[in-house]
Amino acid sequence: MTTRRRSGGSSRTSSTELVILGLLRRRPAHGYELLRAVRVRHMSEYIRVAPSGLYKALARLEDQGCVTARAEREGSWPQRQTYSITRRGEARLQKLLLAHLRGNFDHSDALSAALTFGELAPRLELERELRRRREMIVGSQQEAVRLLADILAPAEETFFERLRVTRWAEHLAAELRWLDGAIASVAAGMAGTETATGGPQPANRRRLTRAATINGRRPRRSDSAGPRTEPDEGGGADTDSD
């Protein structure tokens, strides 16, 4: 029996529903308030939703009996729908929470796919894109700091959201360290070979090692401490004339 992997669209839909129901579990809100919370709290880190997508999800949840809507008018503002979660919605929220907690870690990444064939890319373009990604990571780090300081001030309600943002910040810091090493390696002309970031040894270093063996030096196999070399006094090819 073949197990079909759930599509990214289904995953995104369930994440959108999780966010909507989670926010409504905290307090009733209208559609714009939900969308603003997604943006301001950087939930867009793990959910991509356009206004039309959010309202479609709200309509779907309302049809399923997970949320209710009531029309409200404030002052001269146009009438708008304020949504509240229902008991069925709370049950759906718990199911989604457990599904996401138990979900598999997704290792898929566009950069990893490109790096697999990095030797085929123009070197300057590769380095340029890595530097561009680094700038984006630095900007995200600054946003994470601002989010923790200004938006998610320590409070009981924000405890787990702060955990989520600190996890995000740790991932950003690790990615920045890797990018610094990768950029330095590519700039030094070692793309696709072992570098300080940890792959196979640079090809030019292996060639230098082989050249040293050929040009007047030979390994001493009897040395138990490991491979060593000694100069050939004749300066030419090794011969065992003893």
Tens of pLDDT, residue by residue over 61-85, are 999 999 999 998 777 777 889 999 9
Beta-carbon contacts of residue 207 (< 8 Å; ≥ 6 apart): none
How do residues 148-165 score in pLDDT, each as one tens digit? Answer: 887 777 665 678 888 888
| Residue for token pair 């939703």 | 49
Residue 236 — pLDDT band, cuts 50, 70, 90?
A: very low
Contact predicate 94/76, CB 8 Å: no
**Among 71-85, 195-209, 213-227, the range of highest mean pLDDT:** 71-85
Predicted confidence at residue 4, as pLDDT, reads: 41
- The stretch 93-109 carries a mean pLDDT of 85
- The stretch 127-142 carries a mean pLDDT of 94
Contact predicate 194/200, CB 8 Å: yes
**Domains of the chain as residue ranges with CATH:** 9-98 (1.10.10.10), 117-219 (no CATH)
Q: What is the mean pLDDT of the chain?
A: 77
* Amino acid type, 185: S
CA–CA distance, 178 with 230 (Å, rounded to integer): 39
Residue 198 in this model has a pLDDT that exceeds 90: no
Contact predicate 24/83, CB 8 Å: yes
| Residue for token pair 């100069």 | 231
Candidates 77, 87, 32; CA nearest to 58 is 32
State what percent of residues in the chain have pLDDT above 70.
68
Predicted confidence at residue 61, as pLDDT, reads: 96
* Amino acid type, 30: H
Predicted confidence at residue 190, as pLDDT, reads: 54
Neighbours of 152 (CB within 10 A): 20
- The stretch 49-54 carries a mean pLDDT of 79
Predicted confidence at residue 42, as pLDDT, reads: 78
